[in-house]
Structure 1
Amino acid sequence: MRPTGYGVIDDSPLQRAPGLVPAAPRVVSLDSHQPLSAELAGSIIPEQHSDDALERQRKAGGPNAIWFDGGTLLCGCPECHAPMSIRLWLAVADCWQCETSIQLTEEQERQAHRLLQQQNSQSAARPSLPQGPVKSSVPPVPLSTEHLSAPFDQVVAGTPPAPSLPSPPRARRRRTAASTEAHRRLRPHTATALATAWLSELFTDLPSWLISLVFHLILLTILGLLTLGDLQDRVITLSTVVSRNVRKGVAEFSLEQDEAQFQLPPPSEFDVNNRTDRQILLRAEQEARQLRVDSEALETTMPLEQVRQRVQGARKSRLALAARDPRVRVEMIRQEGGTTLTEAAVARALHWLSRQQRRDGRWKLDGGRASDSAATSLALMPFLGAGQTPDAGVYKNVVARGLRWLLDSQLPNGDLRINGSGNTGMYAQGQCAIVLCEAFLMTGNERLRMPAQQAIDFIVEAQFPDGGWRYRPNGETPRPGRRGDTSVLGWQMMALQSARAAGLEVPEETLELASHYLDGVATRSGSQYAYQRGNAPTPVMTAEALLCRMYLGWSLREPGLRQGVDYLLSQHLPDARRENVYYWYYATQTLHQMGGTHWDRWNKKMRSVLVSSQVTRGNHAGSWPPAHSHSKAGGRVYMTALAACTLEVYYRHLPIFRQIDLDEQGAAK
């Protein structure tokens, strides 16, 4: 006798007679842990247990027999006839040899539960004994060779199937039984357990901040869905009863519109008695009010009576900006042809421009040209034109930041052509010089005197020998290319005029050379002007050159001035279909200086086109969309700045050839 992995094998020689079964069969004990040799695998039988439960299993018989071995439920493998361990809680059995898995039937489950109950009852009835190898008390039963070769389903019930020879290596496969009632019962519980485990693992691995974020998002969503009841105070509604008796009235009343609330004149085409027109005017009046001087600045500004005297007695260029004081604006707009809508358009434009300013104080052109100094100076011009200074006005902080950026960017020689590209150089220099000179004149701040004078000195040095200016200064331009153009000259002349008004030094030779240049590009007795010598005249250059002629000393009696103005009015009135804000900017100033019927005709057309084309909704509300090729190159900031300056013409510069008489009642509003 020797132990094996399947039990105890008696390997003594067999004595058999012909036709008889062996007298001493070999017995296999399932408690053994040693492997069974191949030559003995077919001649063994399991060791018989003396347990009553196992005896009952053997008597039951059948291919679905289940038995206990060492506290483990076993059954026979339908593939290799090896024992299969049963996991009753999953209702499955697994083969240790071929790795086949089967699902228990309901009958097998019931049989397994009965065996468990029997085992538990027997364990409770028997005293605990030292554990050891189970010895079979049943003598071996002789078996015939036919019995040994019988199929698996003919083995006695309750007896474990005899292990077969090791099968040759083959691909592992897993056999799954058909769905049973037990499987269907276990499936939802298994899915629930898997889902619970997944959620537990998810919340365990998630960081605390993410869990907090999800929780608060859910909480905010729930709170957002909650609606509060009407929190308004309860209103007592009084009902009235109208008598059916009709009586003839004895008095008549006429309700007149309160015109006093319109401090600025409404356009002539608007009817204040029309509800729609009245609503538009009321809104415009509210928007225009924000440009009035703030109460904090009243103590630091010039007394109103002194301002009125300077406006009425303006005979010198140094008083040209006196009408920008917001306290005299209402009367200036009334006398010079402005309306509630024009001033509201300026207010909206300044609001939009203020939102485009960068944190460091600069503006940027949003078109194809790049010049931060040009963009900043152009944006500051309408703020200064509306009386907004670093010391006074609702936009004083905006103006202060813009001026600070210009001063920090100026070179020691006065050069303000900062990071410009293309032909923006001297344009930017002239525009920046205008801003510095006007800011110095309006505030009297001596810290602005030197930067303004240096900017003017740079312009003087940059003038070409022919009296004009071009994209680059004279010293940076090769000699054959030193030919000025009227467009650049116009901005330099405006800067020189602002410097003269501020009391800065401007050489007379510079002004004489500029006048000499204009003579060279003039045609038709000085009534029309070209871009450069030899070019054909254009209305744009004519308007710009005529304004320069006025500042250089021409009077209203000059034939060329009157003929030029007639040329502009007869053929080139403002037209919304042909936008050219550069032309409108210079022509409006020229016609305003002329005054009379010429100005009335131009002004009515100009203000209508500009007010109606301004954007009133969306992110660009308050701006003007660029349509002309030059306007597109500058972008929306360029277009809006020049349009706002054009609508400020009523008070931006006092007329040169006529006197303004202010009303006592209209000046202090």
Structure 2
Amino acid sequence: MSRQQILKVQLLVGIMSLCHLRFEVHGQDYTSADVDDSIVRAVKFLSSQQTDVGAWRTESWGESTAITSLAVMSFLAAGHVPGEGPYGEQINQGVRWVVEHQQPNGMLVHQQRSHGPMYSHGICTLMLAEVVGMMDEADEPIVRRALEKAILLILESQSIVKNDRHRGGWRYQTNSRDSDLSVTGWQVLALRAAKDIGCDVPAEAIDAAVDYVRNCAGRNDQGFGYQPGNGPTPTLTGTGITCLEVCGAHHSKEALGGAEWLAENPLRDRSSYFFYGAYYTGIGLFKIGGDVADLNHEHLVTLLLPQQDDDGGWTPRSGSERQAGRIYATSLAVLALAVEYRYLPIYQR
């Protein structure tokens, strides 16, 4: 990282701080206690929405392994663990339901009902990697076997022959011959988390994924787009930063360039895929660290807390997020707000 780039980030942090002050003037100045209370209410809401079989549902497509996995990770991020405390058995039920619906090829998608199975699969694999070390002696080997099968599927999908622009990434189908950053992000987090708990993840797979993420960086490293050559968006810039940071490319020129771009183009409550963006910008800038992380967390708080419903959940406003539903939105909101707790292994700096 050059001195010039450090100075530029510091300048833009100052700009971001001024933007944050405007948020406080027109809204409410929230405290850490308010954030804690918000997370407690959200977890209670999620608890109330679990089905009798242990799953959680989407708004439009019924029970879902991906939505169940997001809900499970929300409990973990809030400090709850399998088999203990008020939500311990619900966590166990959710994990078991996901594992029970693994397909013979390793795919973690309930009856192939997802239009983009690899997207859902990445989320589920990440959840298993985060929770496996917390399971009891009876469940741990079962979850680990499911995780290892899921990782093999991710690696096999990455090995599909693609051109230079798309090599190293993933798309919605296992045999897709192109890639996108949105699907790739979940696979990268899953591989990184699995490697951290002892799964066999070749370094070459991580390196190839990092190369693809870098291909999605904008001109002059200003943000990240959906695919190579696409313009940057706040949501996918968060994804790109997160992928690089968790894979060891800490403070790379692309990650810092993304942070610079986000300081000038921050996530807004009307941003496309807002809750997804809150999750990834929350993790990515937290891992950048320093004032950038603190100011972004405060920014997300001022965006998320006013939108929380009286029952503790969040309601997505438009598009695919509305179809995914309130469990999806609430889970991602909790995962974004709870990043500073550092309970999830993937949050560790």
Answer whether TM exceeds 0.5 for this pair.
Answer: yes
Displacement after TM superposition at 1:370 (Å): 5.2
Q: Deviations over 1:332-359 (max 9, x none)?
A: xxxxxx7111111111111111111111
d(CA) in 1 for partners of 2:63, 2:222: 33
| Candidates 594, 607, 610, aligned match of 2:301 | 607
TM-score, structure 2 normalization? 0.82
**2:56 aligned residue:** 363
Partner Cα distance (1:521, 1:378) in 2: 25
Could you tell me which residue of structure 2 aligns to residue 583 of structure 1?
Answer: 277
User: What is the identity, as a one-letter code, of the residue corresponding to 2:169?
Assistant: G
Secondary structure of 1:537 counterpart = coil
1:549 to 235, 244, 249: 244
Unaligned runs of at least 5 residues, structure 2: 1-23, 162-166
In structure 1, the residue matched to 2:263 is 569
Report what 1:185 is aligned to: none
CA offsets 1:273-313 (integer angstroms, 9 cap, x no match): xxxx9xxx9xxxxxxxxxxxxxxxxxxxxxxxxxxxxxxxx
* Alignment partner, residue 469 of structure 1: 170
Report the counterpart of residue 342 of structure 1 in structure 2.
35
Bigger relative contact order, structure 1 or 2 (CA pairs below 8 A, ≥6 apart): 2
TM-score (norm 1): 0.44
Is the 1:490–1:545 Cα contact (8 Å) retained in structure 2? yes
Alignment of 1:308-457 (within 5 A): 339-366=32-59, 368-369=60-61, 372-421=64-113, 423-443=115-135, 445-457=140-152
Change (3 A) 1:343 1:426: same
| One-letter amino acid matched to 2:309 | V
Taking the aligned partners of 1:436 and 1:636, their CA distance within structure 2 comes to 22
Measured in 2, the distance between the counterparts of 1:632 and 1:575 equals 14
Q: CA deviation at 1:509?
A: 2.1
The answer to whether the 8 A contact 2:78-2:338 is kept is yes
User: Aligned equivalents of 1:396 and 1:548: distance in 2?
Assistant: 30
Q: Aligned in 2, Cα 1:487/1:392: closer, same or farther, shift over 3 Å?
A: same
- Corresponding residue number in structure 2 for 1:262: none
Aligned position for 2:318: 628
SS in 1 for 2:82: coil
- Residue type of the alignment partner of 2:64: D
CA contact (8 A) 2:314 2:326 kept: yes
Q: 1:651 maps to which residue? A: 341
User: 5+ unaligned residues in a row in structure 1: which ranges?
Assistant: 1-268, 270-276, 282-337, 658-669
Match of 1:560 in 2: 254
1:532 paired residue number: 227
Identical aligned pairs, as a percentage? 33
1:498-534: CA deviation from partner (whole Å, max 9, x where unpaired): 1012111112221122122123222234342221233
User: Secondary structure of the residue that 1:392 maps to in structure 2?
Assistant: coil
Which of the pair has more CA radius of gyration?
1
Equivalent residue runs for 1:42-191 within 5 Å: none
Asked whether the equivalents of residues 195 and 201 of structure 2 are also in contact (C-alpha less than 8 Å), the reply is yes
In 2, Cα distance between equivalents of 1:369 and 1:572: 31
Whether the aligned pair in 1 keeps the contact of 2:109 and 2:117 (CA below 8 Å) is yes
Q: CA deviation at 1:469?
A: 0.9
Question: In the aligned structure 2, how far is the partner of 1:360 from the partner of 1:656?
Answer: 32
The separation in 2 between residues aligned to 1:395 and 1:437, in whole angstroms, is 19
Opposite residue 264 of structure 2, the aligned amino acid is S
- In 2, are the aligned partners of 1:370 and 1:420 still within 8 Å (CA)? no
* Richer in helix (by share): 2
Distance change in 2, residues 1:422/1:437 (3 Å): closer
Higher percent of residues as strand: 1
Give 1:404's aligned amino acid: R
| Residues in 1 aligned to 2:148 and 2:222: alpha-carbon distance in whole angstroms | 33
What secondary structure does 2:224 align onto? strand
| Counterpart check, 1:637 vs 2:327 | yes
What pairs with 1:261-272 in structure 2 (closer than 5 Å)? none
Deviation of 1:422 after TM superposition, in Å, equals: 5.1
Q: Is the 8 A contact 1:437 1:495 kept in 2?
A: yes
1:517 counterpart residue number: 212
Q: Is the 8 A contact 1:377 1:428 kept in 2?
A: no
Which amino acid in 1 is paired with 2:41? Answer: R
**Secondary structure of 1:452 counterpart:** helix
Mapped to 2, the partners of 1:380 and 1:374 lie a distance apart of 10
* Alpha-carbon distance in structure 2 between the residues aligned to 1:579 and 1:360: 29
For 1:487-506, what aligned pairs fall within 5 Å after superposition? 487-506=182-201
Q: How does 1:198-237 map to 2 (within 5 A)?
A: none
Contact 1:527/1:561 (CA < 8 Å) preserved in 2? no
Q: 3-state DSSP class of the match of 1:430?
A: helix
Shift of 1:393: 2.5
Which residue of structure 1 lines up, in the alignment, with residue 153 of structure 2?
A: 458
Answer whether contact 2:223 2:262 (CA < 8 A) is retained: no
Give the C-alpha shift of residue 656 in structure 1: 5.5
- Superimposed CA distance per residue, residues 191-243 of structure 1 (whole angstroms, 9 cap, x where no aligned partner): xxxxxxxxxxxxxxxxxxxxxxxxxxxxxxxxxxxxxxxxxxxxxxxxxxxxx
In structure 1, distance between residues paired with 2:95 and 2:253: 41
Which stretch of structure 1 is more off in the superposition, 526-535 or 379-388? 526-535
The superposition leaves residues 511-561 of structure 1 with CA deviations (integer Å, 9 ceiling, x where unpaired) of: 1221221232222343422212332222221110111011222122x3332
Contact 1:580-1:628 within 8 A present in 2 as well: no
